[in-house]
């Protein structure tokens, strides 16, 4: 007996008043290349299950894995089952699993195996007939960047990239999008020969995070903030992505890439664009993207990169009560490696709104704690009718948007200390998602996979955004390449002394989240 179809209308986890992810994908399937990797196991497969569990996938949805493993369909289904049990956000429901498992397929092969892609084409066609996927399939390339051209070429050769009638075929590419401007353009040339621009989805999972979306809400839904969101009132902006872990077993990926290419080029420059852009007429993809492109086109590098950039490598030290090794002692790394694990840079924006307001971007591994935040730091009041001793503990007002791990918004401002004296010091008002909403936020990959299946691209960087980001970063990495070894910093601290010196030259200091 076949299990009952689960639809949005009678799925008990699908609240009709839930406006967070209200759209439901039409008939479709997802093919994952690199399905045996960590990203697939920890993020992609659980996200697919969570979407199904919330009634946001069609009943006939199909999930196909492609890898070298000698698996049958049921072997792959067990892998998906285990990944879901361990990493899914929503509770495990047997009815949801049975429904999803009916559409799970696996194709064995390597990326240079034309016969395997022919088998994949046949599998997709059978799914169209058996599951009613309607010829609509997205191909998720969870593979190393060097394999992108090969996989895309095989999709073209086998006919898998070609859509018929009203059906669609889409390709999803994980970062990094190249390692510099030239390679990004080469990659785009390969992909655009096979897929039209509207069918190419470049994944930056940070743009799917709830708090990144909230950045737009804070700015444009509140009259309280937008009038102050300019050079008249803002002193500077700090955007931080800090990790408390080291490289671990990622030597093969990370060496030669480094913190700037891994994080600043995509995550942090995208956050900068959302913070600094003008208000779009709507949040439709073309208008949102146009405003981001305007901002990235206006970014200006500092004249003296030696004074306004910093890079470092974490050294052996104590972190969290544990003795940890330095970057150069990590397994698989060249002891002479000049790859940075910490990067900081000052950028300016040449437009009327932000003239004279520096944007400081920093990222690093083995830092004091795991946190991603955007801090908009306001200028001090032009006149304080208090004795200086009474405001000695008063800093700049700041609006801090926390992206992870404790998603929310903090507003820092001055208030009187209880007592007979008019003493003023900093206090904070805090909004936390966990305190204000009973619902748990969707994972970033849930939102992004659903957007791919819907063909809704506002959260995905365009070719122009990627190229502008590399135009900003390439001169910095070229300058660093001539500077020799990065500056060491003790694990568990907030980076090398040169990063603090960079801020001190401007009369500012880094926040300590």
Pick out the residues of the known binding site for NADP(+).
68, 175
Distance of CA 411 to the CA centre of its chain: 24
| 87 is annotated as an active-site residue | no
Structure tokens at 32: 């994952």
Scanning the structure block, which residue is given the tokens 């002193």? 235
Q: Which of 402, 303, 310, 397 is nearest to 348 (CA)?
A: 303
Concatenating the DSSP letter of every residue in 329-352 gives: GSTT--TT----SEEEEEEEE-ST
Specify the length of the chain in residues: 513
CA–CA separation, 56 vs 100, rounded Å? 12
Q: Where are the beta strands (DSSP E) in 275-370?
A: 299-300, 309-315, 317-319, 322-324, 342-349, 359-364
Cβ contacts of 53 within 8 Å, gap of 6 or more: 11, 13, 88, 90, 91, 93, 96
Q: Where are the beta strands (DSSP E) in 365-454?
A: 371-378, 398-404, 408-416, 424-432
Q: Which of 272, 344, 273, 335 is nearest to 308 (CA)?
A: 344
Report strand pairing: 169-174 vs 137-141: parallel
CA–CA separation, 494 vs 367, rounded Å? 5
Whole-number Cα distances in Å, 402 to 222, 288, 370, 371, 374: 18, 22, 11, 8, 7
The residue annotated as part of the active site, out of 137, 236, 267, 308, is: 267
Which residue positions form the known binding site?
Answer: 68, 175, 205, 209, 243, 262, 365
Report strand pairing: 309-315 vs 342-349: antiparallel
The residues that are catalytic are 267
């Amino acid at each position: 007996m076949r299990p009952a179809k689960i639809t949005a209308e009678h799925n008990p986890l699908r609240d009709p008043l839930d406006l967070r992810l209200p759209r439901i994908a039409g008939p479709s399937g997802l093919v994952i290349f690199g399905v045996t990797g960590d990203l697939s196991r920890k993020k992609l497969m659980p996200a697919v299950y969570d979407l199904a569990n919330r009634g946001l996938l069609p009943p006939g949805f199909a999930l196909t894995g492609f890898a070298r493993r000698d698996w049958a369909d049921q072997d792959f289904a067990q892998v998906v089952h285990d990944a879901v049990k361990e990493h899914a956000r929503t509770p495990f429901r047997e009815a949801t699993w049975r429904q999803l498992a009916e559409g799970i397929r696996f194709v064995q092969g390597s990326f240079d195996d034309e016969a395997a892609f022919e088998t994949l084409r046949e599998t997709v066609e059978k799914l169209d007939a058996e599951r009613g996927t309607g010829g609509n399939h997205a191909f998720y390339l969870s593979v190393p960047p060097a394999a992108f051209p090969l996989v895309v070429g095989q999709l073209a050769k086998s006919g898998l990239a070609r859509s018929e009638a009203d059906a669609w075929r889409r390709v999803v590419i994980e970062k990094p999008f190249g390692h510099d401007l030239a390679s990004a353009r080469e990659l785009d040339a390969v992909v655009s020969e096979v897929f039209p621009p509207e069918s190419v989805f470049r994944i930056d999972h940070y743009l799917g995070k709830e708090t990144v979306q909230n950045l737009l809400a804070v700015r444009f839904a509140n009259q309280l903030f937008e009038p102050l969101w300019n050079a008249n009132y803002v002193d500077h902006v700090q955007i931080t992505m800090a990790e408390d872990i080291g490289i671990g077993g990622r030597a093969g990926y990370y060496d030669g890439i480094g913190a700037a290419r891994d994080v600043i080029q995509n995550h942090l420059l995208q956050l900068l664009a959302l913070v600094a852009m003008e208000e779009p007429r709507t949040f439709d993809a073309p208008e949102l993207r146009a405003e981001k492109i305007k901002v990235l086109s206006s970014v200006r590098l500092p004249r003296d990169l030696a004074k306004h950039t910093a890079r470092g490598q974490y050294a052996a030290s104590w972190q969290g009560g544990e003795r940890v090794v330095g970057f150069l002692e990590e397994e698989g790394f060249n002891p002479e490696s000049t790859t940075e694990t910490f990067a900081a840079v000052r950028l300016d924006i040449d437009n009327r709104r932000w003239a004279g307001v520096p944007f400081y971007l920093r990222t690093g591994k083995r830092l004091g704690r795991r946190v991603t935040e955007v801090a908009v730091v306001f200028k001090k009041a032009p006149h304080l009718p208090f004795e200086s001793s009474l405001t000695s503990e008063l800093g700049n007002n700041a609006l801090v948007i926390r992206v992870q791990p404790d998603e929310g918004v903090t507003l820092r401002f001055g208030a009187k200390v209880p007592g007979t004296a008019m003493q003023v010091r900093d206090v904070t008002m805090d909004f936390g998602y966990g305190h204000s909403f009973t619902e748990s936020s969707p994972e970033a990959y849930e939102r992004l996979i659903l957007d791919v299946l819907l063909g809704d691209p506002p959260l995905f960087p365009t070719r122009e955004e990627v190229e502008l980001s590399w135009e900003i970063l390439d001169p910095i990495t070229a300058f660093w390449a001539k500077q020799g070894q990065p500056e060491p910093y003790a694990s568990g601290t907030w980076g090398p002394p040169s990063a603090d010196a960079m801020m001190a030259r401007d009369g500012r200091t880094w926040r300590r989240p």
